[in-house]
Amino acid sequence: MNTHTSKLIHTMIRVRDLDSSIAFYQTALGLEIKEQFIFDGFTLTYLGNQATDFELELTYNHDVDNDYSHGSGYGHIAVCVEDIEESFRRLILLDMQPTDIKHLKHKDTHLASFFFIQDPDGYKIEFLQRSKRYR
């Protein structure tokens, strides 16, 4: 790796209810707490699993009672899974209300099969069938 190459290490989102968010990500994505740092005014919780070194950082501000707005710039977090149909059925049974599975083609070639769910704070998570592009 040259000195100009960067490595993605985490995505940070602000959450309103830390316990609900941790439970959601454990259940929906199989993420576990890797580290947690509690400060006077906020808590940083890093979630991950064995599939990757990439982490999701949950930032919980202790004295904030209002919902966070996502604005028009936030898109989604994406994960890939071995079996999109099985993941979809599992999340239906957990009442996580996934969107319908969609299939995306580019120039008559299948590019992706995917669906979305939302976490307790409204952040969208895209589930993609593991394939050539999405590993």
Residues with catalytic function = 126
Residue found by looking up tokens 């890093």 in the block? 46
